[in-house]
Structure 1
Amino acid sequence: MNAFEEELPTPRPAWIAGRAERSDQTLPVHHPFDGDEIASVCVPTADQVERAVAAAAEVARELRTTPAHVRAAALDHVSRALAERAEEVAETITAENGKPLRWATIEVNRAVSTFRFAAEEARRFTGEVQRLDTDPGGVGRLAVTRRVPRGPVLGIAPFNFPLNLVAHKVAPAIAVGAPIIVKPAPRTPLSALLLGELLAETDLPEGAFSVLVVGNEDTRALVKDPRLPVVSFTGSGPVGWSLMDAAPRKQVVLELGGNGAAVVCADWPDLDFAASRIATFGNYQAGQSCIAVQRVIVERPVAEAFLPKLLDAVGALKTGDPHDPSVEVGPLVDEAAAERVSKWVDEAVGAGARLLVGGKRDGATVEPTVLSEVPHDAKVWAEEVFGPVLAVSVVDSVDEAFAQVNDSQYGLQTGVFTRDVRVAFRARAELDVGGVIVGDVPSFRADQMPYGGVKASGVGREGLRSAMADLTEERVMVLTGLEL
């Protein structure tokens, strides 16, 4: 029994310019594992949306000039409050998203760190001083350059990390002093609304944040609204690029996913470790992670020893009710997503791929699946499967492995299992991706590091300092007549 199995409470309010407000229209939230309704949320009216945007525009100058200690204190408060309510917040994530409780707990811990990192960055977001007398025309002159917010931010978050990916929109915006309007995924709005509750407990000025659970048409209107000059979107590629097209004169940051590859080189000594990590991170979050392992590229000298270890590791993963602490792989976000993944697997097998393990579906749950000999035009290889599916390819050289990694429309992160520092540096130089993880899976992400991709994986970077740069622009002041 968990809190969401009790009688449904009153619909959760929206957060309009920092205040909780209700509306007549509501949206149900369902648990992906069994489809039960676990809560409902208020859908803001057109008037409420307008007041949220107007308040963000009105408070922008005040928030930009708010002392750093005020913004840092607000971020510290959210970090501490999430830590204090960690069990409740993890239950909320599992209830709305369906990820196993063990992964929901990790997500809460990451969000705690994300807000803490943001508080630290807010305190040292100072700019630089540059002497200009390096040229005769600059004698007596000093340039002081600081970054200032471009303006209010529209943060559009996906369902797969309903807390921490919202945190990666909210935390850097507050850190730089930019008002933010959060638009969470309609299927997973509860974590974002909970963050609104915590932010309301701080001393941020009214209008600094809003949380709006609105539909696609209202979202597109927000994207086009000139009072929101920055759009930060995480989600599917077609939607992301269409939003950029709809706002050609705005600063748009897109994190659009990938089809992450893990390369197992012949020199890698610990195949058990590689197999365990790839099995786990090909299936964590039911594969619904932008940097989940999808393609496994193995050099031939170790393939015969590696593959049975991978199959054993995948076969040992337990699926089931995500509230069960022993469950490692929960359901996909809904049954339609699971049906799509199963269809892609069947299409690959029909085109000549070999099904080595898994492949069955039960409602919204898909068994962890491993395929080999997958045609490279099959969707499970060429597209982002966003499900618990691994496609294995055996290659004769590192050259061939890296060519396969790059033969993709995506370029988010790649893992390279090697102990050869020359191969590691080759990977950094040659792979067309935003990040190379040496000695581990592409799924590693530290929330303070730059994170983002190239090609169809998007533009811009998350990670607190990097995101703060994307949300701001340089402003220079030149002082004249100084003795330097």
Structure 2
Amino acid sequence: MYTKVSGRKMLLGGEWVDRERTIEVRNPEDNQFITTVPAASSSDMEKAIEIAKEGAKMASNLSVHERMDILRKAAHLIEKEKEAFAYTIATEGSKTIKEARKEVERCIETIRLSGEEARQIGGETIAFDQAKGSENRVGYFYRFPIGIIGAITPFNDPLNLVAHKIGPAIASGNAIIVKPASVTPLSALKLAEVFCEAGLPKKILSVITGYGHEIGDVLVCHPDVQMISFTGGVDAGLAITKKAGLKKISMELGSNSPVIVLEDANVDDAVKACVSGAFWAAGQNCLGVQRIFIEESRFKAFCSRFVELTKRYHTGLKLNETTDMGPLITEKEAIRVKALIDKGIEEGATLLCGGERNGAFLQPTVLTDVHEKSELATEEIFGPVVLLFPFTNLDEAIEKANAVKYGLQAGIFTENIKAAFKAVAKLHVGGILINDSSDYRIDAMPFGGVKQSGIGREGVKYSIQEMTEPRVVCFQL
């Protein structure tokens, strides 16, 4: 039981509003009540879109230096409140306080990059006289904002992934409506407060809290929303593409990322990187290491060392400075992942360590002998589970790494430059890390995948490209 307290409001067209219907936000660690947020209705979303039509005009009329000033001020304000932001992330979500602090630092970088990239939006001249009969024509193209961006964000990076939508949208002169995950809305609302304080004109930004099945379709299907930027699961992404109609779509849909370890690799370096890559944020990470392919001559040594380090991984209270891994986002999710583990073991997999569940907590889990066509190996687990496979040669490892519907990022550990370049050429992914796990990203790089891992690229500069359109200008002299 708890005492009812005044809940957080949502930002609708620049105004903070509440609603009779609310959503409870709870700490997944112990299900403790934190606060409530409004459960927006479809009419709330329609109103936000109507206001954003005016906001889009205002945003496009902001000068570049005004956009830059707002983004710089926002980054400065987040810097001043770093610990408060980290605490919010760590209480409403799965991340430990140490993981949350790193997310806040990345958010600051994302917003700063957005301010810097605002000045870089440009075009180029066109040689119209390359076409016969156009000798007296000159011109160029430039990029202009597309209007209203609809952003749908997940729970696993509740601050920085929101920043990756808002920052580029403001930098490129668009209005944006954010629908954050209903289990982790507080970080997004806190970020919206910062932008209000930084001087962003009203009507440009809305953060609408609510259930996806009630307000999501309005945002996705509305003809006045010119682009949907979505980060989440494949099933939801496929549903959005069917409903959205003729508009721009950018999607990051996750993966079950592979790492290849050749016999010439430094095993200690590979193990350390892959343990961190597998269990960061309790494995709820689109870049998380899920499948590791180890050359047979090093397989036993790698498994032994990997299990040793995994057993040292401290699972516990998120605000404890010594904790390495917290809970999954809900107990329901922990039950789902535990069921996948149990099913894999029934199908013949060998459990090397972990696999125990207590509420939303699930111990870091390492499996071998997993059937390569099983759900564990072919789907995104999105939990603290990693699978170890032996292989005999690089061609075999690449074939197995590619034998799934995903292709976000991959890693390879080797001292052989030819082997590294072969992996670069043959792995069907959006990014390849040499002598690192798949779990690496900076906020300035083009980020996204192939196959069912997504459409388009994020990363501030590349998001701006997605959020703008070229306009050709031609003068006849």
Output the TM-score relative to the length of structure 2.
0.97
1:149-185 deviation per Cα after TM superposition (whole angstroms, max 9, x unaligned): 2220000000000001111111111111110000000
C-alpha distance in 1, partners of 2:416/2:474? Answer: 49
Q: Please list the CA deviations of residues 72-124 of structure 1 after superposition, one character each: whole Å capped at 9, or x if unmatched.
A: 11111121111110100000001000211100000000000000111100011
Task: Tell me how far 1:20 sits from its aligned partner.
Answer: 1.2
1:98 aligns with 2:94: yes
Shift of 1:331: 0.2
Deviation sequence 1:313-359 (CA, Å, 0-9, x none): 11110001111110011100000100011110111111111100111
Equivalent of residue 455 in structure 1, options 429, 451, 458: 451
- The Cα shift of 1:61 comes to 2.5
Aligned residues: 475
**TM-superposed deviation, 1:409:** 0.8
Residue 72 (structure 1) aligns with:
68
Matching of residues 102-117 of structure 1 within 5 Å: 102-117=98-113
1:245 corresponds to 2:239? no
- Residues 448-478 of structure 1, C-alpha deviations (whole Å, 9 max, x = no match): 1011111111111110111111112111101
- Cα shift at 1:135: 4.3
Aligned to 1:432: 428
Structure 1: 5+ residue stretches without partners:
1-5
- In 1, Cα distance between equivalents of 2:209 and 2:315: 31
Map of 1:203-352 to 2, 5 A cutoff? 203-215=199-211, 216-268=213-265, 270-352=266-348
Conserved in 2, the CA contact under 8 Å of 1:70 and 1:203? no
The residue aligned with 1:3 is none
Counterparts in 2 of 1:9 and 1:138: CA distance versus 1, 3 Å: farther
Alpha carbons 1:265, 1:299 under 8 Å: kept:
yes
Aligned-partner SS, 1:217: helix
Q: 2:461 matched to which residue of 1?
A: 465
The aligned residue for residue 409 of structure 1 is 405
Partner-residue secondary structure (3-state), 1:291: coil
Q: Measure the CA separation in 1 of the matches of 2:193 and 2:226.
A: 25
Match of 2:10 in 1: 14
* Aligned counterpart, 2:33: 37
Distance 2:335 2:40 in 1: 32
CA distance in 2, matches of 1:296, 1:318: 22
C-alpha separation in 2, matches of 1:203 and 1:44: 25
Q: How does 1:137-148 map to 2 (within 5 A)?
A: 137-148=133-144
Equivalence for 1:375: 371
Matched, 1:165 2:161: yes
State the 1:8 CA deviation: 7.1
Q: 1:45 offset after TM fit, Å?
A: 4.5
Please tell me whether the aligned partners of residues 94 and 282 of structure 2 are also in contact (alpha carbons under 8 angstroms).
Answer: no
Partners of 1:14 and 1:43 within 8 A in 2: no
1:132 CA displacement: 2.7
Tell me which stretches of 4 or more aligned residues in structure 1 moved more than 4 Å.
6-9
Aligned identity (percent) is 36
CA distance in 2, matches of 1:51, 1:134: 49
8 Å CA contact 2:449, 2:455 repeated in 1: yes
What letter matches 2:31 in structure 1? G
Which of 343, 356, 360 is 1:364 aligned to? Answer: 360
Runs of 5+ in structure 2 lacking a partner? none
User: Are the aligned partners of 2:314 and 2:324 in contact in 1 as well (CA < 8 Å)?
Assistant: yes
My pick for the range that moved more, 121-130 or 460-469, is 121-130
Distance in 1, matches of 2:140 and 2:149, equals 26
